[in-house]
Structures are given as C-alpha cells and as structure tokens.
Amino acid sequence: MEIFRSIRNLLRFGSSRFDGPMLFSMFLLFGMGIIVMFSASVIPAEREFSDSYYYLKKQLLWGGIGIFLFLIFCQIPYQFLVKWSFVFSLVSLLLLIAVFIPGLGKSVGTSYGRSFNRWIQIAGFQIQPSEFSKISILLFSSYFFYNFDFRKINWDKRKIVSLFVIFLTLLLIVIEPAFGTTVELLLVLFFFVLLAGFPMKRLFILGASVIPLLVVLVTQVGYRKKRLEIWLDPYKFRFDEGHQLVTSFRAFFDGGTTGKAVGTGYAHRYLAYSHTDFVLSSYVEDFGFVGFVCFLLLVLFLLFRMFLLLERTKDKLGFFLGSGILILFGFQTILNLFVITGIVPVTGISLPFLSYGGSSLLTIFILFGILANITSKENLVV
C-alpha cells in the first residue's frame, strides 16, 4: 500500500513547481535517444569521419545546450515570449531567407536532380531554420488565434500583417523544400482555428479545399512524385531509391521479439539515415518488438500527461500555446513512425529526442521548456 501511495503522490498534479512525471518521461526519452543514436551512428561515423564517436560527441554537445536552454525557457513567463513573438517571427523569416544566400546557405543535391536549401553554415556549425520556425509560428499564431473572434471579424492592419507573416513563413519552408515541416505547421494552424471557434463544418470544407493543392504539390513535383512511386512499390526500387524503406522493413523483421545484439544488425550497416530520420528502425532491430512497445508506452504516457496538465491550465493563452506544442510533438512522432513503417511516403521528419540533429534537438528542448512554464504549479488549477 505504501508503494501505491508513493506512486499516487508522484503522479499528483501540482506536487512540485514543474511536473515531475512529464519531465522524467522527457529526459528518459532523451537518454534512450543517446543510446539508440550512438548504436545507429557508429558505422556511419567510422566510415565518414574515421571516428566512431563523432555523432555521439556532437549529439551530447547539442543535448547539453538543449538542456541549458530548457532550464532557461522554463523560467521565462510564456506571456513574455508571446508578447515578443512578432519579433521572433521576423528573425525566423530572415533565417529562412538566409538559406538561399550563396556562401551562407548550404544547398544539398539529391539523386532526383533537386537541390534542398534547408541549412545555414555558421562557424563550422550547421543549423536548420525551419526547425526553429516551429517555435516562432507556435508563439505567434497561438496569440493571433487566441484573440481572434470569428463571430465578428475585424480585418485591421495588424491582423492582415499577422496572416501575411504566417503565410510567408510557410511559403519559404515549402520552397526549401521541407514538406514534412509544412504539413506539421499546417496541422497546428488547423487546430488553432478549431480552438478559436471557427464553425467545424466550414473548417472541414476549407480543409478539403486545400487537398487539391497538396495533391498537386505531391504528384507534380519531381522528387515527391518519385517518392510516391517508391512508397507504392518499394521492392521494385529496392536496389536504388527504395533501399532505405526496404531496409527499414527488414530491421523490424530482424528485430523479432527481443532484438539482436546491439549494433550488429543489417540496418546498422546499410540503412541510410539510420541515426537521423530512421533511428527508430535501428532501435527496433536492437531491442525488438518488446523495445518498440516500451517506446510507444513511454510516448503515450508523455502525451497523456501533457494533455491532463493542459486541461488544468488557468489561462486560455497558455492552453492554446501548450496545445500547439502537444499537437506538434505528437504529430511529428506519429509521422516519423508512419514513414519508417511505410504507412505514408518517405519525407524528411525527425523523431523528437531520438534522431541525431542539433536544430531538431534544441527546438524540442525549447518547446518543452515553454510547456514546463505553462504547466508550472502556479498556472494550474489543482
């Protein structure tokens, strides 16, 4: 009985300033990510840099910076961040423009003949502005829709400028291109519109009207059309562009119930992006179905805890912003899972806390720092 009482006290809302179960789950995911990412990156790091620890050292560095930023942002009142969100959005726009500037932006060619402009090279470090734009979009759009009344719309200059900033940010991300990030942000905006009280019937009609545009973006753009073909029949392309998805399938099969010896599987040697977008495939190969279920349970617990905390927030603005973070984190995790299992076509989307990448890791730590502030004891009804 004493054990159950202790667990109940730990799970009680408002028992400490910042919610312990949510933070424990978050840091446990990050810890798992370090182990899994290292296992998946040893062979690529040795092959590319003659240093098996190359990616581990960089991820630990980004992780340390991320934790530092988390500690800062969980102390900053989210109202202050929202107040300055327009400035953050302008900085985000400048960074998104910078990826197209020769000498500053880094362009990467693909086998489809398309160049990707997603990164900025600064002092030996590579950052991805579209990741940080998630923060500015969440802050700015949550404030915009929190104040929006669809029953009496007054299109003043401020509202028009705000919509233009949101639209321009999305447009630049599409042009990079970063299709997965665009879909993420569109889903968050859709959710904000729903929360703001827009009639549901009209909202779904509006959403349906966007589908033809998405179809055109997928079927009429070379590399996306090719990805669609690969997704429909990956084994037809298993010796070239479909190798990545087929190898991911094999990793799930080879993992079996409890997994193989860590770091020894086929996917660790031959799966492209095994430590970034497809890190979960390497994880399943190492730890099998049991490990996969443990990962899912941890993510579901974290999402459910976030939901319960947001239900108890006193402030409508905090609820809007926190709900946006919940949707973004949940959707990004689900989309990554759908990609590596072939449920949806391959798109560049990282797995929060597990995938290698500084920009993605810093962004998710900052967002959870903001969420920790929103759900702090003084902001909850307990």
pLDDT exceeds 70 at position 318: yes
Q: What is the DSSP letter of 313?
A: B
Q: How confident is the model at residue 163 (pLDDT cuts 50, 70, 90)?
A: confident
Q: What is the mean pLDDT of residues 302-328?
A: 94
Report the share of the chain in percent with pLDDT over 70.
87
What integer pLDDT is reported at residue 119 of this predicted model?
81
pLDDT tens profile 247-301: 999 999 999 999 888 888 888 888 888 889 999 999 999 999 999 999 999 999 9
Q: Is the pLDDT of residue 56 over 90?
A: yes
Most distant CA atoms of the chain, gap in Å: 66
Between 327 and 5, the more confident residue is 327
Asked if pLDDT for residue 372 goes beyond 70, the answer is yes
Residue 280: both structure tokens together = 């979960």
Residue 27: the pLDDT is: 96
**pLDDT digits 0-9 by tens, 187-243:** 898 888 888 777 777 767 777 777 776 666 666 555 667 777 888 888 888 887 888
Average pLDDT of every residue of the chain = 86
Residue 111, pLDDT > 60, answer no
Check residue 1 and give its pLDDT: 60
pLDDT at position 220? 57
Amino acid at 257: T
Q: Give the residue from 368, 319, 375, 305 showing the smallest Cα distance to 11.
A: 305
Q: What percent of the chain has pLDDT over 90?
A: 48
Q: Which of 27-36, 63-72, 179-188, 308-317 has the lowest mean pLDDT?
A: 179-188
What band does 104 get if pLDDT is binned at 50, 70 and 90?
Answer: confident
And the tokens for 12? 């009680």
Mean pLDDT of 4-30: 81
**pLDDT value for 7:** 63
% helix, strand, coil for the chain, step of 5: 70, 5, 25
Per-residue pLDDT at 113 exceeds 60: no
What's the pLDDT at 81?
94
Q: Residue 4 has what pLDDT?
A: 61
pLDDT confidence of residue 302: 96
Q: In the structure, what pLDDT confidence band is assigned to residue 108 with cuts at 50, 70 and 90? A: low
State how far the Cα of 198 lies from the Cα of 153, in Å rounded to an integer.
11
Look at residue 159 in the predicted model and tell me its pLDDT. 76
Average pLDDT over residues 120-142: 87
Q: Over range 32-57, report the average pLDDT.
A: 92
Q: pLDDT-based confidence at 80, cuts 50/70/90?
A: very high
Q: Which among 121, 127, 45 has a CA at the least distance from the CA of 92?
A: 127
351-360 confidence digits (pLDDT tens): 999 999 899 9
SS3 annotation, 136-183: HHHHHHHHHHHCCCCCCCCCCHHHHHHHHHHHHHHHHHHHCCCHHHHH
The pLDDT of residue 179: 78
Helix pair 20-49, 358-374: axis angle to 10 deg: 170
Are the beta carbons of 50 and 349 closer than 8 angstroms?
no
| Closest-CA residue to 251 (of 228, 225, 279) | 279
